[in-house]
Chains A and B, each alone.
Chain A
Amino acid sequence: MNRAIHRIVGVGRVAVILGWAAFLAFAWYTTAYPQPGKPGRLGIINPSYRWLSLASAAALILVGGALLPTQRSEHAHGPEVGGQHKGAGDRDHEEEETASPGELVFQALFLAPVILSLCTTGSGLSGASLSRRGIHEIRLSEQPGVRSATPVPPAPMPPPGTELGPVQALSMADLYDYLLIGASPELLGRQVDVIGQHFLDERCGENQFLVTRIVVTCCLADAEVIGLRAQSSKPFNPSAGGPAARASKSGTWIRVRGKLRRLNDRFGNPALFIDDAAVSEVPAPADILLYPRRRTTPW
């Protein structure tokens, strides 16, 4: 009976370890080589840490492999109590004695997230979750020269009459620090070109909306939502020309271009706005999360 339990528990251990190894390798693969329209499984953590999943998968294969012959030798000899611990298989007997059917529960529990992950896709958060987290919106600071940890690029000097390109304009990543500390008056008049999700709140007046992005430092657990108000001369209707389903969904991906100005919201409070915003619907970027410490992330 004991031997049967040991065998089941031992096989379970190997299965759990190799299961996680396969899952981590799969998650890395889907992220490194994403299919169009399907975000990678590791799209929920900072790209700087993604290689760890592949390294862990390789290490787990080694660990699982090491457990296999141990189990085999144990099956051959059977668990001996009180013997001299000299061989690799024998050395494990001390711990094997603690193997119990209860361990199978832990093994199942440990594998549960792998199974759970097969039922879920995507890498962002729902609108309800975004609302619960609250949106950090960029605010105006009365102090000139607010110091940012990562200063925004100097204002470009375009020839008169020419439009600023997206490279010269400020992106959401450029504005990240200012979203937290408040925009200094020097930012007023700067051209911005941002991609984000359309969002409405109670402060939005007619033709006003928020462009939002989910910012992640470490993983989705620390996600915060940043937003920039915008005002357009024309009402933006995400459903116009699109499938009917989109009409009921906010969170539509949009590109907004315009200049930063001080305008009033619905309640007459001054706020920083992208004024006279040119809005267009765009497909979701490959990586919908924004990583403020990675300046290579566009927008």
Chain B
Amino acid sequence: MVEEVASSAFGRPASFLETLDLELFGDFSRVLLSILFEALPFVLLGSLVSGIMEVFLPSEVLARMLPKNRFLATLSGALAGLALPMCECGVVPVMRRLIRKGTPLNVALAYMLAAPMVNPIVILSTMVAFRSMRPLTVTGLRIGLGLVIAMITSGVVTLFAGKHPHTISLKAPTAGRPTWREGSREALGHAGRDFIEIGAFLVIGAAISAALNVLVERKIVVQFAGQNVMATVMMMGMALVLNLCSEADAFVAWSFRDFSISSRLAFLVLGPILDMKLIAMYTRVFRKRTILILCACSLVLVFTATMLLSSLWPELSKPSPLTDAARQAQEMRP
């Protein structure tokens, strides 16, 4: 089918081998670069914040700010994105620095997982994207599910990841405070090192994602749009592969009009927590076991939560009524 269409497009037969040619390589490199152009400014921003925190934010201040109660501490970590908004690329170096400064793992993890969803920019963009289709419901559910899943995942990871869940060595308190000039230079230096370290892994993740993006047929995904369970699985797969920034992913989710709201919520909640580039970036922070638990837990929780939601609120699991006509037209095809 693909070959037929490609053949008609180019006016010549197109075999599988022929499609794996330089044009496809060009597509791969353009998609890879587009992901990097989008993500790198935010990784740099995160690295700069991380560098400033390293130099100008004493560990004791962080410790004093956190509630003693474990649940409240995790909740405050999950809500910290409202004060320190970060998308999922920028949040990794910040979280890394938080752990280095002695922030408990559950708090840092809750911040890392929730901040890309629970922040003013993403809340606004989700509302704008879904302005014609239950904006408050979709935005509210995204924030709610994001918070709950981030908190549970951080709790589970902290509980089961063992004594050494990450690869970061804790920073010993330094004597004296640097001058403004000295500190700025030092902060920029830290930012540079973080940027390269995280950026290299961003490139790996983006390359895997770009390859899948170019090679995988979208028809495989769309054909399951009418089946709630498979639609959710497919949308979760899309979240893993597309590597979208959480500040723009709501617009893409909106465009998947053939899919139910609940499956699109799975896309919106999973994307900022887990995708190819994030998995690669996590390897610079966590040990393998921790990453495995984090991946498994977030995948299971997102799937379960959206399934539960669609059974409690069946309306959300139905494809948009506006697409029924389109579906009928599709069925009329020979």
Query: Do B34 and A95 touch across chains, with their CB atoms under 8 A apart?
Result: no
List A contacts of B6 (CB < 8 A). Answer: 127-128, 131
Q: Please give me the residue from chain A that is nearest to B320 by CB atom.
A: A181
User: What's the Cα separation between A49 and B41 when bound, in Å?
Assistant: 10
Interface residue total, chain B, C-beta cutoff 8 A? 87
Verify if B2 is at the interface (C-beta below 8 Å from A). Answer: yes
Q: Please give me the residue from chain B that is nearest to A42 by CB atom.
A: B37
Chain B interface: which of A65-73, A153-161, A278-286?
Answer: A65-73
Verify if B189 is at the interface (C-beta below 8 Å from A). Answer: yes
A67 and B325 in contact, given A219-B35, A221-B31, A224-B255 (Cβ under 8 angstroms): no
List B contacts of A92 (CB < 8 A). Answer: 186, 189
Query: Do A122 and B325 touch across chains, with their CB atoms under 8 A apart?
Result: no
Interface residues of B in 181-204 (CB under 8 A from A): 182-186, 188-193, 195-197, 199-201, 203-204
Query: Do A248 and B326 touch across chains, with their CB atoms under 8 A apart?
Result: no
List A contacts of B255 (CB < 8 A). Answer: 180, 217, 224
Query: Do A70 and B9 touch across chains, with their CB atoms under 8 A apart?
Result: no
Chain B interface: which of A80-88, A186-194, A253-261?
Answer: A80-88
Chain A 45-81: CB-based contact to B (< 8 A → 1; otherwise 0): 1100100110110011011111101100000000000
Query: Do A13 and B193 touch across chains, with their CB atoms under 8 A apart?
Result: yes
Chain A 88-113: CB-based contact to B (< 8 A → 1; otherwise 0): 10011011000000010011011011
Verify if A166 is at the interface (C-beta below 8 Å from B). Answer: no
Verify if A38 is at the interface (C-beta below 8 Å from B). Answer: no
Query: Do B8 and A200 touch across chains, with their CB atoms under 8 A apart?
Result: yes
Query: Do B24 and A45 touch across chains, with their CB atoms under 8 A apart?
Result: no
Most B C-beta atoms less than 10 A away, residue of A110, A141, A143, A146 = A110
User: Helix, strand, loop or mixed for chain B's interface?
Assistant: helix
From A66, A139, A182, A203, contact of B192 by CB (8 A): A66
A221 and B192 in contact, given A56-B41, A129-B214, A293-B251 (Cβ under 8 angstroms): no
From B176, B189, B216, B254, contact of A86 by CB (8 A): B176
A106 and B188 in contact, given A53-B41, A217-B248 (Cβ under 8 angstroms): no
Query: Do B30 and A220 touch across chains, with their CB atoms under 8 A apart?
Result: yes
List B contacts of A84 (CB < 8 A). Answer: 175
Query: Do B248 and A132 touch across chains, with their CB atoms under 8 A apart?
Result: no
Interface residues of B in 37-85 (CB under 8 A from A): 37-38, 40-41, 44, 48
List B contacts of A25 (CB < 8 A). Answer: none
> What's the minimum C-beta distance from B126 to chain A, rounded to whole angstroms?
13
Query: Do B33 and A129 touch across chains, with their CB atoms under 8 A apart?
Result: no
Verify if A222 is at the interface (C-beta below 8 Å from B). Answer: yes
Verify if A296 is at the interface (C-beta below 8 Å from B). Answer: no
> What's the minimum C-beta distance from B255 to chain A, rounded to whole angstroms?
6
Verify if A235 is at the interface (C-beta below 8 Å from B). Answer: no
Verify if A134 is at the interface (C-beta below 8 Å from B). Answer: yes
Verify if B242 is at the interface (C-beta below 8 Å from A). Answer: yes
Q: Please give me the residue from chain B that is nearest to A67 by CB atom.
A: B192
A110 and B203 in contact, given A134-B218, A200-B8 (Cβ under 8 angstroms): yes
Query: Do A132 and B214 touch across chains, with their CB atoms under 8 A apart?
Result: yes
9 new A-B contacts at CB < 8 Å, known A45-B38, A110-B203, A139-B329 = A53-B41, A66-B184, A66-B188, A67-B188, A117-B33, A127-B10, A141-B322, A218-B244, A219-B35
Offer 5 A-B interface pairs, CB within 8 angstroms, sorted by A.
A63-B48, A126-B24, A127-B10, A149-B133, A293-B251
